[in-house]
Structure formats: structure tokens, C-alpha cells
């Protein structure tokens, strides 16, 4: 072809393209081409498998009888067209869902004829949108949706819930609310996390939810290993579904947060030095997996847990998906009908939730259906907060420390002081090794607390930062518990001004009784057993104690050497030390001090009280017969033992008389209990020996129950010898 023939070829191609196509550019600078009257737009420079504008233009030129042009003429014509389009209007392109004029929303059905669904305040209809209103971008991930059925009367919702085996009504409401949110282009929706036991159909349920919006070609995929590939996959489709997640690395967790709420990716353009390519994305995200391990707090606020249960009856894949494909038009039509009603409903926007747009959508859904979707969403966030706390040892340590704070009192310390305090609390007396990832500096601790701040606030622990004249500080406080509702019945009044929260008649005495073994045979205390005795109930059989030979002692046998160890007047949280609540008529003696403890008075001082004698010369019944844990005592007062045989109460017993501490005793405590120098205790630890008859544990730790039981036995032995 001569040089004179090239100019007419470029001119022919340019004039034909300008008359048959509409060219525009996006905010990123990419030039797209739309056939006149058709909403689908294709980039000029694209060479993808979905068809490029270059291929489309060549086919049209050939069909209209203008001939076949060589590559040079086509390239020069497209370069000229691209340069002319840079001065045209800016219009965005959309995938699957797009906003329209007059508050309408468009749903791309993925059809070649360009038919789409227009959702407006009064209903929905199927039509071809104006290219200047909506421009669809098609990729390999854009599947074709069937034409929605009309006049479904909500049958599609029942069909969908019948195919998906959700665990309960709350989960079903959240799943429907998420589908409604996916039809809103301006509403960021949380990522549903389909979880459940093995064989619960998590992947199948995820495919069913995805294919409502992506067609029958929509499917789940594995999470890419690098961030760039995941961003590319997200930008090419509408719903991104990641299947069978077993753990969430920090980078993947942060990227998921960006996908849910929106972000932008910038990278260098190919074959350039200083030019960049911008990629904005905010897409619905769906996850499946049995357990993803530790969930970071920022991602937990963007998740929507949907629990599934194992189906009782199994079906084949072919039968299941055949029924699903048949029900999909009805399901899509019912979802569109519900979307129109939800948009027209008025509801108050909750202001205490992070995903406020989705919370407002749940409130609108409740106004239409009244299913309690917003309450279910709040409950799911509470469950996720529990998962975050269970997976973060630092959060558990902070909450444990907060239980010791007075409500409403602010505690201010520097980050280094908080690090030392929390580290000491976690390590304890046994010096537990710190876990991997534990903060090593005050700065790292401050950053971790900032990430955990919303989670701790949901549990009533407030963390704040400030600065005074000397240094920066971290302030921690615990919220006061809310007052009880006034409409509840008045609780029973206990002696001493205390009240009981029991609604049933009678008061309960909770005792912690360790089943002890004979002296010198194995460990002196086993796992505690809890007994609940009611003051209104008839007398119950006392718990079995052990005689000197290690057999259960009968009621007629002499008093055993080992007494029950009673814990009372304590507020320990883990249940080892229980609260003592008794009626005025009942009383229990402390095994270490012989102090009588009643329901209306505090324990007596550490001394040996003499039994009171009434006018008839009998001992007080409150000290003997009416105690369920003591055998009958002689009516005559027992002679006080000589003073030289009494054991002087060590100071540590006075501090521990209200119950067994939830920690191992220190060498200083052991030295105070046995009245020996501290160096002697260190020798015992070194040689793995102890006082006569006392056995030190395998790990040279002094268990408080063993020590206190041993001291009680020695005390009883000295008293018997006297």
C-alpha cells in the first residue's frame, strides 16, 4: 500500500468510529468506548479475553463493507481517537451495581442486549439504561443473571432459606440484610463469615449467596498470597468470596478492612517511569471457614458471623443446583421486591455502631418485617468481641487487672509502668514465660491498647491517653455497673444490711470442701467439691471425710484428723473461693482458726473461743449440732489446753483467713506459717523436703490448700496430745 493510501484509511476509521461509538474518559484517565445506545463500555487499550474495542471496531468495519485495514492504520486511528477523548466529559464505569438518576439504582444482568434492572422508590423494572446515565464494565468475573420473576409474594425468600441450612432465624435475617446491602452501591456492608462444623455446607451456602448477585458462574476462590493479586481480583468483580480460610495474617486482615470500607491502590504504569495507575475499590466480601484463629479488633467490627449447621438429609450436587437454578429467578425477584419496601421505610439510624449504614439498613428491614435484625447484628458484634478477647492474652490480662479497680476511679501510669504491671500480673508468682507477641516496650504496649480500645470499652474498661507536665500517661478506669431495674421484686434482707439476689425463698450456704487424704500419703488436697446447703431445707448428710486409715469415716467413728476446709467471705472470680451466705442460726468454724463465722457477723479474731453454756449447762447448739459439717460435741465444756501447746497464729493466716488465695504461697508465707527462718525454706526447696510429714510438690510449689490443711492437722494433733 502506497503512502497516499494510508491517510484515507486513518480518516475512514476515525470517521466511522466517531459516528458509531461514544468515547469518554474516567477520573483515572482511562478512555472507554460505548456503542451508541448500548450501556456496556470497553477500554480502548484493553487486550482482554472479554473483547476489546479494537476487535469490535474491526468487525463492524468488515460487516459494513468498508474492508479490512492493517494494524498500522488501526493503531494510528485509535491513537487519534484516544487523544480526542481526553477532552470529553468524565464519566465513571461500574460493575454490577450502579447509582442512577433521581435516586434510582441499576443492577446489571450481564446480558449481551444490555438489559438491566432499575430499582426506583416505587418499584423496579427491566430496561436498557441510557449510556450517559450508566456505563457497565464487563470482565471475566461478570456472569449473566436470569430475568427476575415478578409478583413473587416473597416466595423466593422461603426457597432460598430452604436451600441454605442456616443455624437459626437470627442468622437468616442477617443473611437477607447482607443481600439487600449488596444491592446498594453506596452502602458498605460487613463481610459475612460463614462458619460451622465440618460438613455444614459452608462452601455451598457461600456459593448460593454469591450466585444471587454474580450468576451461576460465580464461585469461591482461595485467598491470594500477595496483596496485588487480591486487589486485581476484587476490582474485576462485585462480590469477592474467599473459601476455607484457616488463619488471617495481619496483612490479609488489614486488606480485608480496606475492601469492606473502601480504599485506593496506586502502582506504576507499565512502560513508564513516573506515571501511575489508580485503582479504587469497595466491594462486598464473603468468607468461609471453620475457624480463622485470632481475629484482629478492627476486622471484627467489619465481620458478620453466619453460623450453619449440618443438614440431616444429604442431596447430590446435580439435584441441589438444578433446584437452585430453577428458583434463582424467583429469589432474585423477591429480593428486588423487598429492596423496594426497605428503601421506602423510615427508621432511626443507630449512632453507636461502626457500620452505621448497614445498621440503618437493618433498622429499615426491621420496620418492614419486624424480625429483630438490628438486635441480631448487635449480638453478633458482642460474640466477635468475645472472640477477640479469647484470642488476645493482653486483653485478658487487662480485663483481669480491671477487676481490681474501683468503679469510676481513674488510674494513670506511664506506658512503661503499665507494661511492668501487666507483665507481672500475667507471669504471676510462678513466673510463667511470656507468650510470643507480648509487648516488649511501652510504645508497643500503647499501640496494642489503642487497637484494643473499642473491644475493652465494650466490656466496661475505658482506656485513654493524656499528658501532664512530666510525661505522657495511659489512663484506665472501669465503668460502674448499671443500677438494677426498679421493677424487680425486692430482694431478701440479710443480717448486717446485706441483700440477697435470690428470688426463691431460703438462703444458700456455699462451701468449698477439699477431699483430703491421710497425712503423709500423697497430696493432702484433691479437687474441691462444692456443696450447697439451704437453711430452709431439711438437714442433709454431711460430706464424707477420711479417717486415719484412708477410708470414709462413718457418723459413729471418732472425729477424723482432717477437717473440711471452708472458704467464705471472698469475691474470687474463678469459683475456687466462694461467697459465704448463711442464716443467723447456722455457723461454721474456720479450720485454721476455730473462729465461729455466722451470717450476720464477720469472722472472729484469731483465738480459741470458749463454748458458751446456757442456763442448763449445755453447749450452744449454734456451735455444735446445727452445723452440718461438725459432729456432735460433748455437752460439758472442754478443758482449755495448756498455753505451751497452742499454736500461735502466724501473720499469714490472719491475712488468708477469708479464704484460700488463688496463687501459690511464697517462701516468705511458708516461713511465717511454720515459724522458721526464710533460709530454712530455701533449703527445703533445694533438697525437695519440708516439715515433718509435709510433702513438697514436684515443681517445688507450695499449694495453699495443702499447706493450710497440713497446719490444721498439726494443730489438731497438738490439741489431742494436750
* Helix, strand, coil share (%) of the chain residues, nearest 5: 35, 15, 50
When pLDDT is cut at 50, 70 and 90, the band that residue 704 belongs to is low
pLDDT > 90: percent of the chain? 36
CATH superfamily of 155-385: P-loop containing nucleotide triphosphate hydrolases (3.40.50.300)
The CATH classification number of 651-721 equals: 1.10.10
33 forms beta bridges with: 23, 42
In terms of pTM, does the model score above 0.75?
no
pLDDT of 450 over the 90 cut: yes
Q: Which residues belong to CATH 3.40.50.300 in the chain?
A: 155-385
SS3 for 446-479 is HHHHHHHHHHHHHCCEEEEEEECCCCEEEEEEEC
Q: Locate cell 519440708: which residue?
A: 690
When pLDDT is cut at 50, 70 and 90, the band that residue 365 belongs to is very high
The pLDDT of residue 316:
92
pLDDT of 188 over the 90 cut: yes
Give the integer Cα–Cα distance in Å for 177 and 373.
Answer: 8
Helix and strand numbers (H, E) in the chain are: 19, 23
Q: Residue 286: which of 328, 335, 239, 231 has the closest Cα?
A: 239
Q: Locate cell 469477592: which residue?
A: 240
pLDDT in tens, 285-326: 999 998 877 888 889 999 999 999 998 888 999 999 999 999
Choice among 93-97, 576-580, 711-715 with the minimum mean pLDDT: 576-580
Cα dihedral angle (167, 172, 173, 176), rounded to 10 degrees?
A: 150
Q: Which residues belong to CATH 3.90.1150 in the chain?
A: 392-478
Q: Which CATH architecture has domain 392-478?
A: Alpha-Beta Complex (3.90)
When pLDDT is cut at 50, 70 and 90, the band that residue 644 belongs to is very low
Q: Which residues belong to CATH 1.10.10 in the chain?
A: 651-721
The pLDDT of residue 480:
79
Asked if residues 16 and 69 have their Cβ atoms less than 8 Å apart, the reply is no
- What residues contact residue 103 under an 8 Å CB cut-off, 6+ apart? 120, 121
Amino acid at each position: 500500500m502506497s503512502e497516499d493510501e494510508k491517510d484515507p484509511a486513518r480518516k475512514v476509521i476515525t470517521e466511522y468510529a466517531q459516528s458509531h461509538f461514544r468515547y469518554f474518559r474516567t477520573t483515572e484517565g482511562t478512555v472507554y468506548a460505548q456503542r451508541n445506545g448500548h450501556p456496556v463500555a470497553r477500554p480502548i487499550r484493553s487486550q482482554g479475553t472479554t473483547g476489546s474495542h479494537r476487535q469490535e471496531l474491526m468487525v463492524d468495519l468488515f460487516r459494513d463493507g468498508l474492508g479490512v485495514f492493517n494494524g498500522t492504520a488501526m493503531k494510528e486511528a485509535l491513537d487519534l481517537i484516544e487523544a480526542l477523548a481526553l477532552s470529553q466529559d468524565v464519566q465513571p464505569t461500574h460493575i454490577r451495581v450502579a447509582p442512577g438518576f433521581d435516586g434510582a439504582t441499576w443492577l446489571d444482568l450481564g446480558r449481551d442486549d444490555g438489559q438491566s434492572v432499575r430499582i426506583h422508590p416505587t418499584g423496579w423494572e427491566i430496561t436498557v439504561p441510557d449510556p450517559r446515565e450508566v456505563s457497565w464494565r464487563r470482565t471475566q468475573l461478570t456472569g449473566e443473571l436470569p430475568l427476575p420473576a415478578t409478583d413473587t409474594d416473597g416466595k423466593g425468600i422461603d426457597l432460598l432459606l430452604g436451600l441454605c441450612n442456616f443455624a437459626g432465624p437470627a442468622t437468616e435475617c442477617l443473611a437477607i440484610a447482607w443481600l439487600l446491602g449488596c444491592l446498594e452501591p453506596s452502602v458498605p456492608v460487613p463481610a459475612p463469615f460463614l462458619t460451622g462444623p465440618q460438613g455444614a455446607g459452608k462452601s455451598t451456602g457461600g456459593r448460593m449467596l454469591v450466585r444471587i448477585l454474580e450468576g451461576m458462574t460465580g464461585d469461591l476462590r482461595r485467598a491470594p498470597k500477595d496483596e496485588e493479586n487480591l486487589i486485581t481480583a476484587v476490582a474485576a468483580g462485585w462480590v469477592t468470596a474467599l473459601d476455607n480460610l484457616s488463619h488471617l495474617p495481619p496483612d490479609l486482615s488489614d486488606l480485608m478492612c480496606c475492601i469492606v470500607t473502601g480504599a485506593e491502590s496506586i502502582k506504576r504504569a507499565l512502560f513508564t517511569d513516573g506515571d501511575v495507575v489508580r485503582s479504587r475499590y469497595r466491594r462486598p466480601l464473603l468468607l468461609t471457614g471453620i475457624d480463622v484463629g485470632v481475629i484482629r479488633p478492627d476486622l471484627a467490627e467489619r465481620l458478620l458471623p453466619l453460623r450453619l449447621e449440618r443438614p440431616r438429609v444429604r442431596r447430590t450436587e446435580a439435584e441441589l443446583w438444578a433446584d437452585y437454578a430453577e428458583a434463582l429467578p424467583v429469589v432474585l425477584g423477591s429480593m428486588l421486591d423487598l429492596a423496594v419496601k426497605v428503601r421506602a421505610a423510615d427508621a432511626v439510624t443507630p449512632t453507636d455502631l461502626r457500620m452505621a449504614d448497614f445498621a440503618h439498613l437493618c433498622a429499615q428491614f426491621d420496620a418492614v418485617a419486624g424480625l429483630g435484625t438490628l438486635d441480631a447484628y448487635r449480638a453478633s458484634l458482642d460474640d466477635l468481641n468475645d472472640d477477640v478477647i479469647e484470642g488476645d492474652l493482653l486483653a485478658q490480662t487487662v480485663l483481669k487487672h480491671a477487676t481490681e479497680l474501683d468503679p469510676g476511679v481513674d488510674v494513670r501510669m506511664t506506658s512503661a509502668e503499665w507494661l511492668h504491671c501487666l507483665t507481672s500480673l500475667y507471669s504471676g508468682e510462678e513466673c510463667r514465660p511470656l507468650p510470643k507477641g507480648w509487648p516488649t516496650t511501652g510504645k508497643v504496649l500503647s499501640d496494642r491498647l489503642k487497637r484494643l480500645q473499642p473491644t475493652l470499652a465494650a466490656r466496661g474498661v475505658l482506656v485513654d491517653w493524656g499528658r501532664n507536665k512530666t510525661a505522657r500517661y495511659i489512663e484506665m478506669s472501669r465503668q460502674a455497673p448499671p443500677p438494677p431495674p426498679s421493677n424487680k421484686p425486692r430482694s431478701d434482707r440479710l443480717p448486717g444490711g446485706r441483700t440477697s439476689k435470690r428470688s426463691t425463698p431460703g438462703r444458700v450456704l456455699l462451701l468449698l470442701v477439699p477431699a483430703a487424704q491421710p497425712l503423709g500419703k500423697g497430696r493432702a488436697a484433691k479437687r474441691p467439691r462444692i456443696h450447697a446447703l439451704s437453711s430452709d431445707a431439711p438437714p442433709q448428710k454431711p460430706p464424707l471425710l477420711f479417717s486415719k486409715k484412708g477410708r470414709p469415716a462413718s457418723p459413729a467413728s471418732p472425729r477424723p484428723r482432717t477437717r473440711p476446709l471452708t472458704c467464705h467471705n471472698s469475691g474470687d472470680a474463678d469459683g475456687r473461693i466462694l461467697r459465704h451466705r448463711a442464716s443467723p442460726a447456722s455457723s461454721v468454724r474456720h479450720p485454721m482458726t476455730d473462729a465461729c463465722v455466722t451470717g450476720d457477723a464477720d469472722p472472729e479474731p484469731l483465738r480459741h473461743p470458749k463454748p458458751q453454756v446456757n442456763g442448763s449447762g449445755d453447749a450452744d447448739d449454734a456451735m455444735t449440732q446445727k452445723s452440718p459439717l461438725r459432729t456432735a460435741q460433748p455437752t460439758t465444756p472442754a478443758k482449755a489446753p495448756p498455753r505451751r501447746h497452742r499454736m500461735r497464729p502466724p501473720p499469714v493466716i490472719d491475712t488468708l483467713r477469708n479464704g484460700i488465695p488463688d496463687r501459690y504461697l511464697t517462701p516468705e508465707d511458708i516461713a511465717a506459717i511454720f515459724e522458721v527462718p526464710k533460709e530454712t525454706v530455701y533449703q527445703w526447696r533445694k533438697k525437695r523436703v519440708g516439715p515433718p510429714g509435709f510433702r513438697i510438690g514436684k515443681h517445688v510449689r507450695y499449694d495453699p490448700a495443702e499447706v493450710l490443711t497440713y497446719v490444721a492437722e498439726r494443730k489438731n494433733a497438738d490439741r489431742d496430745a494436750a
